Every structure is written in structure tokens, then in C-alpha cells.
């Protein structure tokens, strides 16, 4: 296959970005149907940034600043969160378009160039993180952006350039992608640094390495001017703390299960088969580079919630380009089979990628009648909405034998968590199954009505301490928008809120155990059916 016309390729990719962006922006709002807790996490970080706070220094998060700054850039211009998110996605796609186009044109032939370009841009502009669930969710948007950056860096380093080499341009793009990965989610940077560097050395493209280092260093200097040198130490501190956390050591499956459970085993075997076939077809160097990438793909998938293997389609595209290095005359059957296995990998990746590609269309035809604002009472952010039944129908999970139903005889066959005893009182063994925004709003409203909210800070014994988003309270100084362990922000708290039915029961238990150990001198000042309030002396 021949190389695509560069102008036509650029025009098609740009038209795709424009069409999908218009589809999202013209809807007039953002209507999510899953992951309300993740949205509260995102909102707290965005609103802290809007207050002038810096990530890692003023609050704890293992996610890098570039995951939020594109949205923040539009939020500070007075937009609501809904429009800020849409504009941010479009801006990131526009910013990446030159790199996507350059990689597609210099590394891929024929339809593969378009496939690569669409794969990257679909990831950036999608309104769902992946999987096959028919529901819009902006949750974990940074994972999608990071996958696109990783695909660009891997393709530029692993594939030989078509036509005249441009090592300085290639290196600069790789360096910018690497810096972006560090500032979005370090997992990607750590996983792909080795394979990309080795590929650059094996391909004898050493001139690209200084360009990559210079480009990444320029980004680092810019970040240092923005956040100060202390930002780097604080960022590393957050990463180290979260890495040692027992609350959530991995988001979903274990690393081994990410490779071998029924849903993923077919893709794992197909990817390994592509490596073997490349080497048997005489493309030993190509097969080695592909093999080096597999652990990185697997590790990032393991670290992402739901373990969605977004790399399958890209790996199939990569393998078809690497096939050009095979000796087709010496191994015609093997080379042909390699193409068949790549197609199988495409088939396995299709459900998730269709969900990603279709999500902006699904969002555009969403009926707003079934949705309600996530931030009740905020006119500016009224367009950021979620499914009303998920957000405001309070559902919980509790062991029925605690309500007198006589099944306690089965205790010998299961291991029950120990009851949570705090301040001499056994708390209900309850956990929210739905209605988290409603519960947060109810607690925030009650705190306001009781006269406790104005200017005060609340440490909530739960996954989130976000009541300040719904009333006139203040955020915790040094708090954690998502709880990973310890008592971050405790020193600034005026009150401890103990939910009767928390989002995560284990988190409530761990927090209250730490509070009991430190003998905080608590005094109960309010009790309602859904929370207990203690003042902190």
C-alpha cells in the first residue's frame, strides 16, 4: 500500500474532530448516566483549581494536573462545567491533531493511516471510558487522553519512518507525549518509557533521543514556572502514598486476571500470536519490539478501572505495519496468517471501540427529561446533569440478618466484616448502592439549616468530603478529593461527619479506626437519621 495524501489525511481527521465536537457542543449540556461519585471527585478538583489551589500542594491526588487544566481553562472563563468539559475535549483533540496526523502520515500506509488517526481521536473525543455499557460517562477521561498519547509515542518509536527520516520532529513529538503522560497519569509514562527508549535505540534513531529530552524538559520547565519546584516533590509524595495504600491497591482485576480471564484471554493470545508470527516471518526486530510493548499495555490496563484493553485495536494496526518487514517470499503462509490474527484482534476490540465512537451520538440524542442537575441550586452548572433515578433514589445494601431475619446460622460458612464501633456505639452495617449525590446534598443542606456550614470545614468518614460543593462550607486544607488512606486535611477540620450509610463502608471503618487511635477529643453536636456530627477540639 502507498502512503496517503497528507493534505487529504489532515482534512479528513480535522473534519472528524470538527463534526464530533459540534455534536457534543450543540447539545447544550452534559448528560451522564454512570459514575456519579467520580463526577463529584472531578468537580472538587476543578473547583479547587478555580479557587487558585494547586494539585498535590493544596490537595492530594495521584492524577496529574494536565488531566484537569484543559477543563479548568474554560471554567475560569465563566463556563459551566458541562460546556467546559466539551470544549476541553475538543481542545485536546485539536492540540493532538498535528501529532496524530504526523504519526499517521510518516508511519502508516493506506487505510491503516486513517485507522490509526481515528483510533486516537475517538479516544480523545469519546463520552465514555470504554467497556460496552450503553451509558454516557465522562469518568476517567484522562485515561482516554493518555492512551492516545501512548499510541503516538509507541508508533513513532517502533515503526520505521516512511520516506525521508525526520528524527528531530519525531523526537520532539515523543518527548511532548512523554511529558503529557507524566502530567496526566504517571502509570503510562512508567510503563512505556522502557519500550519506547529501547525501540529508539534498536531502530538506530539516536538523533531523536536528544530532541525528545529537550521537548520533555521544556514542558517540565513550564510546569515548574506554573506550580513551582515544590509541585514535583508534592506530586511524587502523592504517588508514593497512593502506591502504598491498602484502600485500593488496584482498581479492578489483578494483573494476572487482566490477561487470562475469559473476557481478555482471547486478546492476550492473539497479541502473543502476532509477536510469534512476526518473528517466524523473518521480522525478528519487529517481533522483539512488539513483545517489549506487551507488558506495558498489560500493566496500564491492569491499573485502569474496568481493565478495558484499549490497546488491542492499536496493536493490530501496529502489527499490520510491522508485517512489511517480514520476508513474504520465504514465509508467505505465516505472513498471511499474521493478517488474519490482526483481524481477530480488531474483532475483539470492536465492541469497546464502537461504544467509544458512538458515545457522542448517543449523548446527542439523549432525552434530558430523565436527568437532573448534579449540583442542585447552581444555575451556572445546571447543564451538568445525571440520571435522576441514579442520583436521587437512595438505595442501600445491608445484611438482612442484622434486621432479625434468622439466617445467622450461616455465619460459619462466610467471613463477615467486624461491626464498626465508634465512640462506644455500633454503627449500622450499611452501604449506599445509589443516590450518592442526594445523600451528599441532604447532609450539606442539613448542616446549613442547623447553622454549622458557614465557613467551617468538615472531614467526612467516607470516600468523599464534598459537602462544601453544596453549601457555604470550606474545603479541607490538604484534603483528598478521593480517599486513599490516612487522615489528609484532618488538621484543618472543624467537624467530623459520620454517615450512617456511607458510599464505602470499609473507608468509614478505616477512618474511624484512625480517629479512635489519635484520641481526637470529639463531642457529638448533632444526630440525624443519615449522619452524626462531632466537633473536633
Query: How does pLDDT run across 476-509, given as a tens digit for each residue?
Result: 999 999 999 999 999 999 999 999 999 999 999 9
Whether the pLDDT of residue 407 is over 70: the answer is no
pLDDT for position 203: 81
Average pLDDT value for the chain: 93
Is residue 273 within 8 Å of 341, Cβ to Cβ?
yes
Angle value at C-alpha 255, between 488 and 67, nearest 5 degrees: 45
Q: What 3 state SS string does 352-396 have?
A: HHHHHHHHHHHHHCCCHHHEEECCCCCCCCCCEEEEHHHHHCCEE
* 403 confidence band (pLDDT: 50, 70, 90): low
Q: How far apart are CA 445 and CA 478, in angstroms?
A: 24
> What pLDDT was estimated at residue 85?
98
Q: pLDDT for 507-528, tens place per residue?
A: 999 999 999 998 778 999 999 9
What average pLDDT does this structure show over 229-250? 88
Residue 417 has pLDDT above 80, yes or no: no
Nine-digit cell at 102? 504526523
How far from each other are the two terminal CA atoms of the chain, in whole angstroms? Answer: 74
Please state, in angstroms and rounded to a whole number, the distance separating the CA atoms of residues 50 and 58. 12
Element (H, E) at 209: helix 208-227
Q: What angle do the packed helices 141-158 and 186-202 form, to 10 degrees?
A: 10
The per-residue pLDDT for 156 is 96
The stretch 241-257 carries a mean pLDDT of: 81
Which one is predicted more confidently, 241 or 251?
241
Could you give the CA distance from residue 487 to residue 510 in angstroms, rounded to a whole number?
A: 10
pLDDT in tens, 324-373: 888 777 778 888 999 999 999 999 999 999 999 999 999 999 999 999 99
With a cut of 90, say whether residue 243 has pLDDT above it. Answer: no
Higher local confidence (pLDDT), 24 or 249: 24
* Model confidence pLDDT, tens digit, residues 363-372: 999 999 999 9
Instruction: Tell me which DSSP letter residue 401 carries.
Output: G
Residue 336 vs residues 24, 50, 284: alpha-carbon distances, Å: 41, 55, 17
Q: Is a pLDDT exceeding 80 seen at residue 226?
A: yes
pLDDT tens readout for residues 4-55: 999 999 999 999 999 999 999 999 999 999 999 999 999 999 999 999 999 9
Q: What is the per-residue pLDDT for 254?
A: 86
Question: Does residue 469 register a pLDDT over 60?
Answer: yes
Q: Enumerate residues 6+ apart whose C-beta is below 8 A from 455.
A: 472, 473, 474
Q: What is the mean pLDDT of residues 393-398?
A: 88
Q: What does residue 431 show for φ and ψ, rounded to 5 degrees?
A: -145, 140
d(CA 180, CA 191): 14
Who's near 297: CB < 8 A, 6+ residues apart?
Answer: 191, 271, 309, 311, 315
Q: What is the pLDDT of residues 93-103, one digit of tens each?
A: 999 999 999 99
Please name the residues in contact with 363: beta carbons below 8 A apart, sequence gap of 6 or more.
Answer: 23, 24, 27, 30, 31, 127, 136
With contact defined as beta carbons under 8 Å apart, do 374 and 391 qualify? yes
If one compares 245 and 15, the residue with the highest pLDDT of the two is 15
How far apart (Å, rounded) are the C-alpha atoms in residues 366 and 352? 20
Say what the pLDDT of residue 134 is. Answer: 86
Are 385 and 366 within 8 A, CB to CB?
no
Looking at residue 163, what is its pLDDT? Answer: 87
b (16+ CB within 10 A) / e for 435-472: bbbbbbbbbbbbbbeeebbeebbbbbbbbbbbbbbbbe
pLDDT at 537: 82
- Rounded Cα gap, residues 315 and 294, in angstroms: 9
Residue 172, exposed/middle/buried by CB under 10 A (0-12, 13-18, 19+)? Answer: buried
Q: How far apart are alpha carbons 351 and 349 in whole angstroms?
A: 6
In this structure, the dihedral spanned by the alpha carbons of residues 20, 23, 27 and 32, taken in order and rounded to 10 degrees, is -40
Is the whole-model pTM more than 0.85?
yes
Q: Is the pLDDT of residue 406 over 70?
A: no
Contact in structure between 75 and 50 (CB atoms under 8 Å) = yes
Lowest mean pLDDT among 46-60, 319-333, 453-467: 319-333
Residue with cell 488474519: 340
If you average pLDDT over residues 114-122, what whole number do you get?
98
Amino acid at each position: 500500500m502507498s502512503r496517503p495524501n497528507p493534505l487529504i489525511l489532515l482534512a479528513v481527521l480535522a473534519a472528524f474532530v470538527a463534526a464530533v465536537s459540534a455534536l457534543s457542543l450543540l447539545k447544550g449540556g452534559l448528560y451522564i448516566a454512570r459514575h456519579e461519585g467520580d463526577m463529584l471527585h472531578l468537580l472538587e478538583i476543578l473547583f479547587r483549581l478555580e479557587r487558585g489551589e494547586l494539585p498535590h500542594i493544596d490537595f492530594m491526588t495521584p492524577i496529574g494536573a494536565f488531566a484537569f487544566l484543559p477543563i479548568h481553562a474554560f471554567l475560569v472563563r465563566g463556563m459551566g462545567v458541562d460546556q467546559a468539559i466539551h470544549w476541553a475535549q475538543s481542545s485536546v483533540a485539536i492540540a493532538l491533531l498535528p501529532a496524530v496526523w504526523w504519526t499517521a502520515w510518516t508511519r502508516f500506509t493506506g487505510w491503516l493511516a486513517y485507522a490509526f488517526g481515528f483510533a486516537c481521536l475517538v479516544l480523545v473525543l469519546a463520552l465514555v471510558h470504554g467497556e460496552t455499557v450503553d451509558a454516557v460517562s465522562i469518568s476517567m477521561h484522562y485515561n482516554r487522553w493518555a492512551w492516545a498519547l501512548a499510541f503516538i509515542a509507541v508508533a513513532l518509536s517502533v515503526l520505521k519512518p516512511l520516506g525521508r527520516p525526520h528524527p528531530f520532529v519525531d523526537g520532539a513529538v515523543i518527548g511532548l507525549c512523554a511529558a503529557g503522560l507524566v502530567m496526566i497519569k504517571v502509570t503510562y509514562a512508567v510503563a512505556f518509557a522502557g519500550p519506547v527508549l529501547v525501540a529508539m535505540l534498536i531502530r538506530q534513531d539516536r538523533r531523536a533521543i536528544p530532541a525528545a529530552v529537550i521537548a520533555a524538559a521544556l514542558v517540565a520547565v513550564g510546569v515548574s514556572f506554573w506550580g513551582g519546584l515544590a509541585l514535583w516533590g508534592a506530586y511524587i509524595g502523592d504517588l508514593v502514598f497512593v502506591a502504598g495504600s491498602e484502600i485500593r491497591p488496584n482498581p479492578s482485576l489483578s494483573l494476572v486476571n487482566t490477561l487470562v480471564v475469559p473476557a481478555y484471554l482471547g486478546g492476550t493470545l492473539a497479541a502473543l500470536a502476532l509477536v510469534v508470527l512476526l518473528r517466524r516471518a523473518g521480522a525478528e526486530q519487529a517481533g522483539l519490539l512488539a513483545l517489549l510493548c506487551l507488558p506495558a499495555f498489560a500493566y496500564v490496563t491492569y491499573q485502569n478501572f474496568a481493565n478495558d484493553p484499549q490497546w488491542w485495536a492499536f496493536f493490530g494496526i501496529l502489527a499490520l505495519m510491522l508485517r512489511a518487514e517480514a520476508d513474504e517470499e520465504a514465509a508467505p503462509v505465516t505472513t498471511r496468517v499474521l493478517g488474519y490474527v490482526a483481524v481477530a484482534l480488531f474483532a475483539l476490540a470492536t465492541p469497546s471501540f464502537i461504544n467509544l465512537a458512538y458515545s457522542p451520538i448517543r449523548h446527542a440524542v439523549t432525552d434530558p427529561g430523565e436527568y437532573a442537575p448534579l449540583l442542585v441550586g447552581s444555575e451556572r452548572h445546571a447543564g451538568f446533569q445525571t440520571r435522576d433515578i441514579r442520583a436521587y433514589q437512595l438505595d442501600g445494601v445491608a445484611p438482612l440478618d442484622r434486621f432479625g431475619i434468622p439466617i445467622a446460622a450461616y455465619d460459619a460458612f462466610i467471613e463477615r466484616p467486624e461491626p464498626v464501633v465508634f465512640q462506644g456505639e455500633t454503627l449500622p452495617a450499611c452501604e449506599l448502592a445509589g443516590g450518592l449525590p442526594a445523600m451528599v446534598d441532604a447532609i450539606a443542606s442539613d448542616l446549613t439549616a442547623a447553622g454549622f456550614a458557614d465557613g467551617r470545614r468538615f472531614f467526612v468518614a467516607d470516600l468523599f468530603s464534598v459537602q462544601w460543593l453544596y453549601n457555604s462550607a470550606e474545603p479541607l486544607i490538604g484534603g483528598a478529593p478521593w480517599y486513599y488512606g490516612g487522615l489528609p486535611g484532618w488538621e484543618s477540620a472543624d467537624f467530623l461527619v459520620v454517615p450512617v450509610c456511607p458510599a464505602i463502608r470499609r473507608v468509614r471503618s478505616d477512618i474511624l479506626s484512625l480517629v479512635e487511635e489519635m484520641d481526637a477529643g470529639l463531642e457529638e453536636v448533632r444526630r440525624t437519621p443519615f449522619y452524626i456530627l462531632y466537633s473536633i477540639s
